Amino acid sequence: MKKIPYGKIDFKRLIEENCYYIDKTMYLEKLENVQDTLFYLRPGRFGKSLFTSMMTYYYDINSKDLFDKLFDGLYIHEHPTNEKNSYYILKFDFSGIDSAEKEKEALEKEFKSCVINGINVFLDKYNFTYEIVKDDSIPIILKSFLTFFKGLKLENKIYILIDEYDNFTNAILEGNAERFKNIVGNEGFIKAFYASIKEYIGLGVIGRFFATGICPITLDSMTTGFNIATNISNYEEFNSMIGLTHKEVDNLLNEVVEEKNKREEIKQIMIENYDGYLFNEDAKEKVFNATLVMYLLNFYQLYKSIPKEIMDSNIAFNSGKIDNLIELKNNSFYKELLNEIMKNEHIKGILKNKFDLTRDLESDDIISLLYYFGYLTIESDIYGGYYFKIPNEVMKVLYGNYFTKKLKESGIGYDNKTISEISKELVTGNIDKLNNYVSEVLKKLDNRDFIKIDEKGIKIIYFTMLLNNEYYNVYSEYVSNNGYIDIYLEKKNPNIPNNIMIELKYIKKKDYSEEILKEKIEEGKSQLLSYSEDKRLGNPLKYLVVFVGNELKIINLIA
pLDDT tens for each residue of 245-259: 999 999 999 999 999
Which residue in 161, 150, 159, 113 sits closest to 128, CA to CA?
150
Residue 93 and residue 211: Cα distance in Å, rounded? 10
Question: CATH code at 103?
Answer: 3.40.50
Q: Residue 227 falls within a domain, yes or no?
A: yes
Domain count, the chain: 4
Residue 274, domain extent = 246-315
Q: Residue 554 falls within a domain, yes or no?
A: yes
Could you tell me whether strands 346-349 and 385-389 are parallel, antiparallel, or unpaired per DSSP bridges? Answer: antiparallel
Of 180, 213, 234, the one marking the end of a domain is 234
Do 273 and 195 lie in a common domain? no
SS3 99: coil
Of 177, 206, 234, the one marking the end of a domain is 234
Which residue in 50, 44, 4, 14 sits closest to 294, CA to CA?
4
175 has a pLDDT exceeding 60: no
Do 259 and 135 lie in a common domain? no
358 has a pLDDT exceeding 80: no
Do 435 and 502 lie in a common domain? yes
Spell out the SS3 assignment of 398-450.
HHHHHHHHHHHHCCCCCCHHHHHHHHHHHHCCCCHHHHHHHHHHHHHHCCCCC
Do 421 and 497 lie in a common domain? yes
What average pLDDT does this structure show over 411-425?
A: 94
Of 315, 334, 352, the one marking the end of a domain is 315
pLDDT tier for residue 297 given thresholds of 50, 70 and 90: very high
Q: Residue 482 falls within a domain, yes or no?
A: yes
Q: How far is CA 1 from CA 4, 18, 265, 407, in A?
A: 10, 8, 21, 48
Do 219 and 154 lie in a common domain? yes
pLDDT tier for residue 227 given thresholds of 50, 70 and 90: confident
Higher pLDDT, 178 or 365: 365
220 has a pLDDT exceeding 70: no
Residue 467 identity (one-letter amino acid): L
Higher pLDDT, 428 or 319: 428
What average pLDDT does this structure show over 300-328?
A: 80
What average pLDDT does this structure show over 480-506?
A: 95
Cα dihedral value 308, 314, 317, 322, nearest 10: -100
154 has a pLDDT exceeding 90: yes
What average pLDDT does this structure show over 218-239?
A: 82
Strand partners, 504: 545
Do 145 and 82 lie in a common domain? yes
Residue 321 has a pLDDT of 77
Do 174 and 137 lie in a common domain? yes
Do 59 and 170 lie in a common domain? yes
Residue 186 has a pLDDT of 63
